Amino acid sequence: MAYSADTICAVATPSGRGGVSIIRTSGKKSLAVAEALVGFSPRARHAHYGPFHASTGEVIDTGITLYFPGPDSFTGEDVVEFHAHGGPFIVDLLLKDLLDRGLRLARPGEFSERAFLNDKIDLAQAEAIADLIDSQSTEAARFAVRSLQGEFSRLVNDLVAAIIELRSYVEAAIDFPDEEVDFLAEGEVSERLDGIRARLDSVLAQARQGSIMKEGLTVVIAGEPNAGKSSLLNILAGQSRAIVTEIAGTTRDTLREHISIDGMPLHIIDTAGLRDSSDIVEQEGIRRAWQEIQEADLVLLVIDSTREWDRSSSAIWRDLGPILASGKTIFEVYNKTDLSGFKLPVVRDDDENITCVCLSAKTGEGVDELKTALKEFAGLNTSVEGGFIARRRHLDALARSLESLEAAREQLLVHKAGELVAEDLKKAHQALETITGSFSADDLLGEIFSSFCIGK
């Protein structure tokens, strides 16, 4: 990514009317422009109240000026903030005056980009800024703050340091064979490699929780007509979102609802009842239901507990077979327990990726147990301190690094190929460094920062 020496400016507060609007500048011209605008040289990190003068000498507004000299600023450059009255017309006048003085409008995310390029923050911390702004729950905000403070980066950097140390040992043994260090035969490399893999597994598990906090889980409610799918959606959403009747086939299309369970975002999708139908509209709804099931993170298969249910004879279960085989988890939700009296504790079978839950969507009994099971499926435990936000690209990088470590272990123990062990360790190292930005392509950086809001 090409670095620009321009001095940039942008509105750092939301558009519209408000008590205060903040215009931020960053770059070499910031102090000179501030002196021209306010008529004196502002002291570093002091708030100065006074008029803002246009280049014509006319007073545009009266407000506060703050000066943060580089490198001790957010971007690492000279930064000035002008706190003006929050009217769109006033803000436009101030921006136009700054542009007339040789500044240019900042691109989306350019302030954070400059902070990254000037080594004030790493890439994971820069992304955490955007994630903190976009947070929609207390837990997501807490996770984003920890990432911004460098918790995720610290864990990644510790892994990188351990891999570099092991690489150095392996490559030294290859380059200096006369030292008689046979790392292929001794157990130290294998032991250290297993230790790094275990630590990486732990970080990956935490990152998956962070990704869930950011992206949420996509949960599909499926089952036969009149099993109580829409009633379950309504009670999870806390409001009447889906039409509930005793007529089979009421739901003919997908219905989406975004909810939060103890800070964990869920994208709940109610679907048409799964059955054979001659109705063209209902057939399309059923087709869409199966499509959503294929793409979901989790499927809640709602079963009417007042009827007999046998997996071996169920057409729905037979059709779910390939989905289960792919590793997807299914919750068997036995509904209408207020009528059937059918009750048993939550049963989890990790071998078959099936969890059984009994509840009544009508009375609410058992719904809390379902919510707890959903949090456990997500690996979320709100009583545990810590956690950090993570993005899909972070998960991909951690997974690539883990694959390279596993490949290195195979080269070490099976093929006895020392050079390939070193090469796989190098790949694991580089995959991790894409998280913090130490090893990243310019087009990746451009894609990341372009998703930020302007003025950040």
Examine the domain organization and report whether 252 and 352 are in the same domain. yes
Examine the domain organization and report whether 17 and 71 are in the same domain. yes
What is the model's pLDDT at position 356? 95
> Is 220 within a domain?
yes
| Residue 365 backbone phi and psi in degrees, to 5 | -65, 130
**Domain end position, chosen among 121, 153, 170:** 121
What is the model's pLDDT at position 245? 46
> Is 450 within a domain?
no
What is the model's pLDDT at position 243? 46
> Is 409 within a domain?
yes
* Helical pair 123-134 and 138-148, crossing angle rounded to 10 deg: 160
What is the model's pLDDT at position 212? 84
Examine the domain organization and report whether 115 and 239 are in the same domain. no
**Domain end position, chosen among 90, 121, 152:** 121
Examine the domain organization and report whether 246 and 336 are in the same domain. yes
What is the total residue count of the chain? 456
d(CA 4, CA 26): 11
E strand intervals along 241-351: 255-261, 264-270, 298-304, 329-335, 347-349
d(CA 247, CA 5): 67
Which CATH number do you get for residue 62? 3.30.1360.120
Examine the domain organization and report whether 298 and 228 are in the same domain. yes
Examine the domain organization and report whether 223 and 338 are in the same domain. yes
What is the model's pLDDT at position 272? 82
Taking phi over 0 as left and psi of -120 to 50 as alpha, with beta for the rest, 390 belongs to beta
**Domain end position, chosen among 89, 121, 153:** 121
What is the model's pLDDT at position 17? 87
CA distances from 167 to 154, 418, 426 (A): 20, 11, 7
Examine the domain organization and report whether 271 and 325 are in the same domain. yes
Examine the domain organization and report whether 208 and 220 are in the same domain. no
Containing structural domain, residue 34:
8-121
* Helical pair 418-436 and 392-410, crossing angle rounded to 10 deg: 170
- Residue 354 buriedness (CB in 10 A; 0-12 / 13-18 / 19+): middle
Examine the domain organization and report whether 159 and 40 are in the same domain. no
Q: How many domains does one find in the chain?
A: 3
Q: Which two tokens stand for residue 41?
A: 């040289």
What is the model's pLDDT at position 1? 47
Which CATH number do you get for residue 406? 1.20.120.430
Examine the domain organization and report whether 225 and 323 are in the same domain. yes
**Residue ranges for the chain with pLDDT beneath 50:** 1-2, 242-245, 247-249, 383-384
Examine the domain organization and report whether 236 and 324 are in the same domain. yes
Sign of CA dihedral 262, 267, 270, 274: negative
> Is 136 within a domain?
yes
Q: Which two tokens stand for residue 280?
A: 């063209």
Q: What is the DSSP letter of 267?
A: E
What is the model's pLDDT at position 357? 95
Tell me if residue 243 falls in helix, strand or coil: coil
d(CA 294, CA 291): 5
Who contacts 290 (Cβ-Cβ below 8 Å, separation ≥6)?
274, 319
Examine the domain organization and report whether 15 and 100 are in the same domain. yes
> Is 442 within a domain?
no
> Is 447 within a domain?
no
Give the position of tokens 């905000």.
141
Look at residues 84, 67, 76, 70 and name the one whose alpha carbon lies nearest to residue 33: 67
Query: Pairing between strand 104-105 and 255-261?
Result: unpaired
> Is 250 within a domain?
yes
> Is 417 within a domain?
yes
Geometric angle at alpha carbon 241, from 239 and 242, rounded to 5°: 130
